[in-house]
A and B are shown apart, each in its own frame.
Chain A
């Protein structure tokens, strides 16, 4: 009402209000606005404008990566400066594929901040990985870091990051390690993958798909599949390659324990047993190598640094070529432990009497599981276990069999190897009350490398009460005797 009556005053107030709002607006814009002009530019425009990056820009344009960096997805580029590019080998410049891979080795998807302590393994656009730690990308130093653009950020480096072979590629491309290389290649096999095969029809009789011959096939390698995938770029490995003489020497050491009916099979088994411990996870340079590596199978690998022929940094770790890795047989063939709670068969179904127990071993302070069967009413009842891949050697057998249920009567049981009837070297042994120690059972020899059935056999009498006829075992341990 007042405003309507006094039109002059109302105009003044209205003006003041407008001014106040306008002033506010400007202030906040200044407050929120960034001062970095790069943020308005995309990566390729910003890099092109950077005189230090001129040489790399030429390569970007040549390989077509300039269009990638103009897209709206975020990227991180580690740009080698002009000095660095000047030392690029001519063969890389000449080969389009090599050059593309080289440029891709400096670009990663996503915005990744450099200068953060702690190693990150960054996947690059060429499929390789590089380790970024603080202001260090592999062996190159970042000179100017984290220049932000509208679609990511770039850094300037004093050196380029060369594209390296990975451990497996290095082996395949190597010369002079024929025995090793041939052995590893002998583990190749052809794999059929229906997803990548071309289907041409359906078999009218079986209803199964029919594929075009020769499609869907790929080569795989048993070492990479089953032991250690040293061709994997995303992690780091240390891979030991033996020269011909030492490969032969170590193989000869192992062959007696892999007796089969065929020399080839024996050599193959011995070779596999040899190489399974030659790759470990983690990147160890020659200087970082300890005097003993422990493989994933718990085998100690003695490293005599004087026997290292060469050490090669690869894209996923280190390859060391060596003239000797002198395995100790006792380390190479650790004791075999068969757990009592993992049987493969029984003489007869006795579910009602079968107990899988949890117990505490007071000697070791460790919990264990075992098997106990009592009052099963079956003469010479047996429980079967499978010991896989037993070497052709002599074994000393032990067990831990716990009777913590009764002091009297005590029961007796024996071990059977390969058969439930032949007694062999293993007599019945009384299971003492509360004995948590390993009990020596005797020795047996395996004539040929094979899978072996072991039997835990109860007393040759039948009883359904009193517990005098029982069997129990925590584990059976087979220690190789050389």
Chain B
């Protein structure tokens, strides 16, 4: 009996222990179950593939800013106008009467991407310290995301002015959100200083390298597009930051790096060997090359050869000429012009916002070109005498009786009927930066750095023609003309094109922005520095309309000249030509620089 009772006691005790143990372990299991659809902090940043995935993730999030970015940078400026379909918030943006709850004036989405950038930057550092990635891999990725963050901060500074907090560490937890207060509000000028300091110390300013020598996880083919131009161009950003800051020589030096692509790691490892010195791609990549008049395989405004004065022979399709840069696939010509483009695929998120914004078939048609913009194109004269600029025809069209911005719709609409090829498929691209913009900004910097003739050359007819006292004469020794080799870097260009002795300078195909667009050179009136700068500003409207550069160009030049009227009059012209009764009020408001900025929530 006794033994039984002891046994019983022991049994009960054992049961209790087992039961307790089960209870504890089951608790642990139940309560600490790992989420199935989310990764926890321990599961990411383990190796280079995780790092690459994080970077792609940041860019995916960044694409969500496309709509707000375009509304802020174009609708606030003078080229874009609301339609009757636009909501009240867009109208506020349009006429500069923004109220506090306007979602387009909310900086939160920008900060959300900045926070992701900060998170990636912090973890890349940890990975390097833990030897999970190599130094070179770290340099490229850290620089990419660091530059992206600087670019977003520059946008914040442009639109919110002196109200921005420069936050550089991730807010991972609720508690750390309080730390924001440790980052003081900085003025736009201080912000620029911080951005210049941070960005210019980034270890890797070239594009991601291609080829087998190093991990190529980020430069690859995904869903039908190559990722070479997915990532921010750091030279362009550094150029822009210095241009804002007024460091003209530095800005020009950075821009020049893009303009010498082969020396600076652009597409150099391309397996098909097109980038060898002396090839077409070598002479045309980033050089704003002249038209290929015989076959129109170019990105210039063109007409059928020998019928250049016939309106019906305008090259107006998705595979040739200026228009095709917004429509064509990523072939060699496309690579020559584009620096930063993010594609929207109709098969997965994020959804392309541009069809809804611009298209009047299959979209909501919220925004349209302003009369002021149309007048700008129609005020130009082409070299064949036509009284307009064909770039206008390619940028907007009258479809179903309405003016429609088509730059973003060429992948969505049929190339000739302009009816959606498939209304349910809305492919498109977010055009962020291209070579023409870099040339215009280089010229802006050069002009202020005393290189006025070079600036005008890049704007108008190209270096070769401009630095030639008798253009068009054949059979000359061109050794001492068609170049600026006597100037220091970054202003030394060799555009010589001659037969005896034979010269084919790297820049001999440069045609200038207006040369390529087939419009006559912009006249220089009065003070040449100011006149060239105004011409460059205006050219940005003609060439880059609706690509998100207009507001920043107007603001930068208004600040540089300390002349708010440049910005205020541009907006006034738009509003008054479109019959907006708030035109005069907007002008008065914008004459005060503090009203250029959106309310910061």
* Residue positions of A touching B, CB distance < 8 A: 352, 354-360, 367, 369, 372, 404-405
Q: Once the chains bind, are B386 and A355 in contact (CB under 8 Å)?
A: no
Q: Once the chains bind, are A360 and B307 in contact (CB under 8 Å)?
A: no
B378-432 at interface with A (beta carbon < 8 Å): 381, 384-388
B312 at the interface (CB under 8 A from A): yes
Query: What are some 25 contacts across the A-B interface (CB < 8 A)?
Result: A352-B306, A352-B307, A354-B310, A355-B307, A355-B309, A355-B310, A356-B312, A357-B309, A357-B311, A357-B385, A357-B386, A358-B311, A358-B385, A358-B386, A358-B387, A359-B385, A359-B386, A359-B387, A360-B381, A360-B385, A360-B387, A367-B387, A369-B311, A372-B309, A404-B385
Please name all residues of chain B whose beta carbon is closer than 8 Å to the beta carbon of A369 when the two chains form the complex.
311
Closest to B382 in A: A358
Please name all residues of chain B whose beta carbon is closer than 8 Å to the beta carbon of A360 when the two chains form the complex.
381, 385, 387
State A138–B388 Cα separation when bound (angstroms): 49
Please name all residues of chain A whose beta carbon is closer than 8 Å to the beta carbon of B381 when the two chains form the complex.
360
Please name all residues of chain B whose beta carbon is closer than 8 Å to the beta carbon of A404 when the two chains form the complex.
385
16 additional contacts, CB 8 Å, given A352-B306, A357-B311, A359-B387?
A352-B307, A354-B310, A355-B307, A355-B309, A357-B309, A357-B310, A357-B384, A357-B385, A358-B385, A358-B388, A359-B385, A359-B386, A367-B388, A369-B311, A372-B309, A404-B385
Closest to A369 in B: B311
Please name all residues of chain B whose beta carbon is closer than 8 Å to the beta carbon of A357 when the two chains form the complex.
309-311, 384-386
Please name all residues of chain B whose beta carbon is closer than 8 Å to the beta carbon of A367 when the two chains form the complex.
387-388
B301-315 at interface with A (beta carbon < 8 Å): 306-307, 309-312
Closest to A351 in B: B307
* Residue positions of B touching A, CB distance < 8 A: 306-307, 309-312, 381, 384-388
State A354–B385 Cα separation when bound (angstroms): 16
Closest 9 CB pairs of A and B: A360-B387, A358-B386, A355-B310, A355-B309, A367-B387, A356-B311, A357-B309, A358-B311, A356-B310
State A358–B386 Cα separation when bound (angstroms): 5
Please name all residues of chain A whose beta carbon is closer than 8 Å to the beta carbon of B310 when the two chains form the complex.
354-357
- Report A132 CB to chain B, min CB distance, Å: 23
State A355–B303 Cα separation when bound (angstroms): 12
- Report A130 CB to chain B, min CB distance, Å: 27
Closest to B304 in A: A352
Closest to A372 in B: B309
Please name all residues of chain A whose beta carbon is closer than 8 Å to the beta carbon of B386 when the two chains form the complex.
357-359
Please name all residues of chain B whose beta carbon is closer than 8 Å to the beta carbon of A355 when the two chains form the complex.
307, 309-310
Please name all residues of chain A whose beta carbon is closer than 8 Å to the beta carbon of B385 when the two chains form the complex.
357-360, 404
Please name all residues of chain B whose beta carbon is closer than 8 Å to the beta carbon of A358 when the two chains form the complex.
311, 385-388
Closest to A360 in B: B387
- Report B380 CB to chain A, min CB distance, Å: 11
Closest to A405 in B: B309
State A405–B311 Cα separation when bound (angstroms): 16
Identify which of A354, A355, A359, A372 gathers the most chain B CB atoms within 10 Å of its CB.
A355
- Report B375 CB to chain A, min CB distance, Å: 13
Closest to B388 in A: A358
Please name all residues of chain A whose beta carbon is closer than 8 Å to the beta carbon of B384 when the two chains form the complex.
357
State A352–B310 Cα separation when bound (angstroms): 10
State A357–B306 Cα separation when bound (angstroms): 13
State A397–B311 Cα separation when bound (angstroms): 28
- Report A6 CB to chain B, min CB distance, Å: 31
- Report A322 CB to chain B, min CB distance, Å: 39
Please name all residues of chain A whose beta carbon is closer than 8 Å to the beta carbon of B312 when the two chains form the complex.
356
State A367–B377 Cα separation when bound (angstroms): 14
- Report B308 CB to chain A, min CB distance, Å: 9
Please name all residues of chain A whose beta carbon is closer than 8 Å to the beta carbon of B307 when the two chains form the complex.
352, 355
State A338–B386 Cα separation when bound (angstroms): 21
State A405–B307 Cα separation when bound (angstroms): 13
Closest to A374 in B: B309
Please name all residues of chain A whose beta carbon is closer than 8 Å to the beta carbon of B309 when the two chains form the complex.
355, 357, 372, 405
Identify which of B306, B381, B385 gathers the most chain A CB atoms within 10 Å of its CB.
B385
- Report B472 CB to chain A, min CB distance, Å: 17
State A369–B307 Cα separation when bound (angstroms): 15
- Report A470 CB to chain B, min CB distance, Å: 12
Please name all residues of chain A whose beta carbon is closer than 8 Å to the beta carbon of B311 when the two chains form the complex.
356-358, 369
- Report A435 CB to chain B, min CB distance, Å: 15
- Report A464 CB to chain B, min CB distance, Å: 13
Identify which of B381, B386, B388 gathers the most chain A CB atoms within 10 Å of its CB.
B386
Closest to A366 in B: B387
- Report B523 CB to chain A, min CB distance, Å: 16
- Report A112 CB to chain B, min CB distance, Å: 22
- Report A374 CB to chain B, min CB distance, Å: 9
State A404–B309 Cα separation when bound (angstroms): 11
- Report B314 CB to chain A, min CB distance, Å: 10
Identify which of B310, B381, B384, B388 gathers the most chain A CB atoms within 10 Å of its CB.
B310
State A357–B387 Cα separation when bound (angstroms): 10
State A369–B386 Cα separation when bound (angstroms): 9
Identify which of A354, A357, A358, A369 gathers the most chain B CB atoms within 10 Å of its CB.
A358
- Report A415 CB to chain B, min CB distance, Å: 23
Please name all residues of chain B whose beta carbon is closer than 8 Å to the beta carbon of A354 when the two chains form the complex.
310
Please name all residues of chain B whose beta carbon is closer than 8 Å to the beta carbon of A359 when the two chains form the complex.
385-387
- Report A186 CB to chain B, min CB distance, Å: 38
Closest to A341 in B: B311
State A351–B310 Cα separation when bound (angstroms): 10
- Report A315 CB to chain B, min CB distance, Å: 31
- Report B385 CB to chain A, min CB distance, Å: 6
State A369–B387 Cα separation when bound (angstroms): 10
Closest to B385 in A: A359
Identify which of A357, A367, A369 gathers the most chain B CB atoms within 10 Å of its CB.
A357
Please name all residues of chain A whose beta carbon is closer than 8 Å to the beta carbon of B387 when the two chains form the complex.
358-360, 367
State A371–B290 Cα separation when bound (angstroms): 28
State A324–B311 Cα separation when bound (angstroms): 50
State A66–B52 Cα separation when bound (angstroms): 75
State A352–B308 Cα separation when bound (angstroms): 11
Please name all residues of chain A whose beta carbon is closer than 8 Å to the beta carbon of B306 when the two chains form the complex.
352
- Report A370 CB to chain B, min CB distance, Å: 10
State A354–B312 Cα separation when bound (angstroms): 10
- Report A265 CB to chain B, min CB distance, Å: 40
State A45–B387 Cα separation when bound (angstroms): 68
- Report A400 CB to chain B, min CB distance, Å: 15
State A207–B381 Cα separation when bound (angstroms): 59
State A70–B388 Cα separation when bound (angstroms): 62
Identify which of B306, B309, B312, B386 gathers the most chain A CB atoms within 10 Å of its CB.
B309
Please name all residues of chain A whose beta carbon is closer than 8 Å to the beta carbon of B388 when the two chains form the complex.
358, 367
Closest to B378 in A: A367
State A6–B381 Cα separation when bound (angstroms): 92
- Report B546 CB to chain A, min CB distance, Å: 24
- Report B482 CB to chain A, min CB distance, Å: 29
- Report A452 CB to chain B, min CB distance, Å: 28
